[in-house]
């Protein structure tokens, strides 16, 4: 992935994850108050969905265990769409499932493509802030220098 694509993916990942975490916070704690709906501790599926949204969304936002967290978040939104929205119609625009469908596919895309730039996963894997291997970048520079020496020698 080129540098610009990695940066855009990292920004999208952070925004999608943060939005999801805020939604989870609203479900669990009622803040920010977006719908006035909170759920009781360990109540299925609402509390568990809120927990996945808060923790999974935060993990995706900071880029920690990104692929696994994004896959879990994608699956939770697929479950929400299939069990809550689909019984009211197939089209998301008619059944109120647009946010669930969009989050599902956005997280699936992040799970497939990886974290992009600005992710903790990059630091843990010895990559630079934008996601390229540090040693690979040095090697690329050395190859350029070697080619320049050969052409002048």
C-alpha span between 125 and 17 (Å, rounded): 21
Q: Which residue has the higher pLDDT, 58 or 140?
A: 58
Q: pTM for the whole thing?
A: 0.78
**Per-residue pLDDT tens digits for 71-124:** 999 999 999 999 989 899 888 888 888 999 999 999 999 999 999 999 999 999
Return the closest-CA partner of residue 57 out of 96, 3, 5, 106: 106
Q: What is the pLDDT of residue 55?
A: 98
């Amino acid at each position: 992935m080129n540098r610009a694509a990695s940066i855009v993916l990292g920004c999208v990942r952070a925004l999608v994850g943060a939005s999801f975490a805020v939604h989870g916070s609203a479900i669990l704690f009622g803040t920010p108050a977006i719908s006035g709906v909170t759920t009781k501790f360990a109540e299925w599926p609402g509390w568990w969905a809120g927990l996945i949204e808060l923790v999974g969304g935060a993990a995706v936002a900071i880029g920690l265990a990104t692929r696994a967290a994004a896959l879990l978040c994608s699956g939770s939104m697929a479950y929400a769409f299939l069990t809550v929205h689909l019984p009211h119609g197939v089209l998301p625009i008619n059944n109120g499932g647009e946010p669930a469908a969009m989050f599902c596919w956005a997280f699936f895309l992040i799970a497939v493509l990886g974290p992009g730039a600005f992710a903790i996963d990059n630091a843990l894997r010895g990559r630079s802030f934008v996601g390229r291997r540090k040693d690979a970048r040095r090697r690329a520079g050395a190859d350029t220098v070697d080619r320049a020496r050969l052409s002048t020698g």
